[in-house]
Amino acid sequence: MIGTVVQTAGDPPQGEISSKLVDLMYAQLRRHAKPLDPADLWFSASDAHNLCPRLFALAVRHGIAIRKAPNPELLWIFAVGTGYHYALQNDLLPSLGTLLQGGWQRISKDGLIVEVHTGTTGGPWTEEGRGWGPKPEGDYWKFMEPKGRIPYCRFVGKWDGVLVWPDGASEVLEIKSIREDQFPSVNPLAGGRPKADHVLQVQAYLWMSGLERGRLLYVAKGSDKMRRVLAEHVVVRDEAAIKRLEVSLAECGAAVGRMVRAKAEADLSRSGLSEQGVADREAIAQAIMEKSMPERPAVCRIKSDPRARKCDLRDICFPPKPKKDKPAKVEKGAEQPA
């Protein structure tokens, strides 16, 4: 009997095979992309690398979303990355004293926000009430990311915190989770470099915060060796890069404005106020909007360019060429037309 008990205890538990929970989460993670609303358009710092006047003009012209709806697998990746952010911002970095600074909200045992410390420090474009400061004394504090807003170019962004070192130097913190197999490409100990898109994003946060330095912290997902999964890069403020970003934002905003006006004019031409037929009015409407369409950027001249391949509006930007009618084949022995 003892032997039977021992043998049974070592067997894996038997139970019903089910994917009920996974199926529910998969369904919950489905999202639908929202069409671009020009009246409520703010450009995001996380998309600073993707600013393209033609992209935004196309979205306005066709009344579609800038981005395709992310699939459940991609949203799962985002959710896991958020978990790494949460652990660093609320557990690991706060254990180092006043190094990590941001906003803080106190959560009751019932999950209610009972107190908020927004931080007293901010930059020229830090949103009111979204600055940074050290974590207050006591328990149940949850980290709030600093946020910037530049109204004149409708530019917004949230960064992952501010590091205030013992000597008083302050740095924007930006955390990026990355697949373990891609980690060597960004690990300086392996000759890796930070991704250009991420560096530009940090430049946007330096602009908003007014700080001179940022720190990119990469976290490799899936490994339990801390020194093998963390890599950091210092990013120094680059005024030329910030100026180029400002110019790109202005160009995108102007492109949206021109297309909004062109679309209104096109809609008027479709209204039947003119004497042309329906087909003619539609052709005129399309010509009006096409006249306001920006050219493709130099890095997207052809559909196979690297940046073009990543664009969600690629097929609209590069429409298929109309097929030419092939001459009908004449069977052998058939009479040729006179």
Average pLDDT over residues 155-181: 96
- Closest among 49, 23, 87, 52 to 256, alpha carbons compared: 52
Residue 81 has pLDDT above 80, yes or no: yes
Please check whether residue 148 lies inside any domain of the structure: yes
Question: Tens digits of per-residue pLDDT, 145-164?
Answer: 999 999 999 999 999 999 99
Within-domain flag for 108 = yes
Considering the domain boundaries, does residue 302 fall inside one? no
Is residue 322 assigned to a domain? no
The pLDDT of residue 5 is above 50: no
Confirm whether 278 is domain-assigned: no
Task: Residue 138: give the domain boundaries.
Answer: 48-243
Write down the pLDDT at residue 110.
78
Mean pLDDT value across residues 155-175: 96
pLDDT at 157: 96
Q: Does the pLDDT of residue 288 top 70, yes or no? A: yes
Q: Which residue has the higher pLDDT, 225 or 75?
A: 75
* Residue 192 resides in a domain: yes
CA 186, CA 191: separation in Å to the nearest integer?
A: 8
Between helices 239-270 and 53-62, what is the axis angle to 10°?
A: 20
Average pLDDT, rounded, for the chain: 86
pTM for the model stands at 0.84
Query: Would residue 333 count as lying in a domain?
Result: no
188 residue type, one letter: P
User: Domain tally for the chain?
Assistant: 1
Residue 104 lies in a domain: yes
For residue 10, the model assigns a pLDDT of: 56
Say whether pLDDT at 171 is over 50. yes
C-alpha span between 71 and 315 (Å, rounded): 19
Mean pLDDT of 262-282: 70
CATH number at residue 72: 3.90.320
